[in-house]
Structure 1
């Protein structure tokens, strides 16, 4: 029986060659050398969501939106929320304030022109807003965003703000920040928000962690993943570092089934609906 608490389903719409795990071997100017798979994989997700009658927030990379405008319109036409994932999938920690502003503005402008409505949400690639670039929240406020989901309160080699708030909160810049969920046990925070951890954990363990989070914290849960995570047939980049290959390819063949189980066991909606966020 499906749990009745409404939680946020989110999708970071990017392709396998965009990910931070491969940024050391694939530069943006080389993206054109790879055959995109994001269109087909995202349509599979749309079919799955329609089958189970759920809505999601799609954090769309501007690069993808420029090349697949009909896909983005179809996501929107099916009643899902469109939000920004920036344009080039550069981590915010690797950009100056001016570069970050330009990247986010380019994505936001293109998506708003495409859809004919204002965006309210943004997610930084690899949850890359943290201790050294809090100015990013000021930029997001300047650009008219109402919320962000760009922090993960865990320790990780690419991201992490372990001592920042674990639940949605209003920042001084005027932005609502919605951190990725964690399970707190014996003073330590375990990542439970999705992505590689979802593929790594047995589904029964994930289900236990989500139920425990909902019961203990009395907060809505938010889940994230990527279209490439349901694509076991994607090319294998053997030149990538071993750790990167492990993170990216682990259990790709099991993700779709686990995702369908998660959808059926819990109730899902968009970020805007779950957190009652109005456009600015």
Structure 2
């Protein structure tokens, strides 16, 4: 966290940090670190356990998890929590209703036109990403994947088949350098905001630590790709190697004149426009 926060301070960047309730309760200081420096704090649900995926939890359980994480993060940070990103981007259509009921106004879980195949858990249900709106949109109250007139704004994480994220940046930095150029051209055409996902633990080298890879699926192909292969790939360029790669990516957008902002600030500045996008 200090290394990531130092990088943001160096370039005057404000970001949104999404915390699970599990991490926030275990290490409340990492929440305070970001909040005290003016970054937005968002909810990332209660935990990353597969059974806590918002794509499989019943509605009532989704509400309980959102209420729990929201209150915990507000108590720690002393700030209102209105932004949410689902663990592993796993949501169901009625997650929109659960978010609205619990006081959230922003979601960033629908990675439009991202295709994970078996490389992430819950990937079958993420097929809906392929038809989701590409620009920020007000969601349908009963279906987070489509446009509507609700008070919940969806800000899609950037993707063009592959994710625009720390994992792909580390695994295939050359491809990411081309990917960022493609996304830049798109942003010039339609002013679509770029949303990059990175985790603070990617700046920690865990490659030599013993790892227990849990089998999360009975499907052999899914197990090999989303558990075994994914776990192996995710160790590439962890730690000190990740930081210069990320700084290079940040500098690309600084040199292109981009403004870096939080989810909340983006919606505040563009709320009137979002309804018409």
- Contact conserved, 2:47 with 2:87, CA < 8 A, in 1? no
Change (3 A) 1:87 1:278: farther
The 3-state SS of whatever aligns with 2:71 is helix
Structure-1 residue corresponding to 2:223? none
Question: Is the contact between residue 45 and residue 227 of structure 1 (CA under 8 Å) also seen in structure 2?
Answer: yes
Aligned-partner Cα distance in 1 for 2:267–2:164: 16
1:144 aligns with 2:103: yes
Match of 1:256 in 2: 243
Tell me, yes or no, if the aligned pair for 1:73 and 1:114 is still in contact at 8 Å: yes
The answer (yes or no) to whether the contact 2:106–2:263 under 8 Å persists in 1 is: no
TM-score, normalised relative to structure 1: 0.75
Residue of structure 2 aligned with 1:194, choices 165, 175, 178: 165
Distance 2:102 2:166 in 1: 28
Moved over 6 A (4+): none
What is the SS of the residue equivalent to 2:234?
Answer: helix
Which is bigger in relative contact order (C-alpha 8 A, separation at least 6)?
A: 1
Maintained 8 Å contact 1:192/1:209? no
Is 1:182 aligned with 2:159? yes
Structure 1 residue corresponding to 2:71, chosen from 103, 109, 123: 109
State the TM-score, normalizing by the size of structure 2. Answer: 0.75
> What is the aligned counterpart of 2:230 among 244, 263, 267?
244
Q: CA RMSD in A?
A: 2.2
Q: CA, structure 1 residues 215+51, in 2 after alignment: closer, same or farther (shift >3 Å)?
A: same
2:18 counterpart of 1:53: no
Deviation for aligned residue 1:238: 5.7
Q: Residue 277 of structure 1: CA displacement? A: 6.5
- Using the TM superposition, name which of 194-203 and 83-92 deviates more: 194-203
Q: Which runs of 5+ in 2 are unaligned?
A: 142-149, 215-226, 272-277
Aligned residue pairs, count: 229
- Superposed displacement of residue 236, structure 1: 4.3
Assess, with a 3 A threshold, how the Cα gap between structure 1 residues 272 and 80 changes in structure 2: closer, same or farther.
same
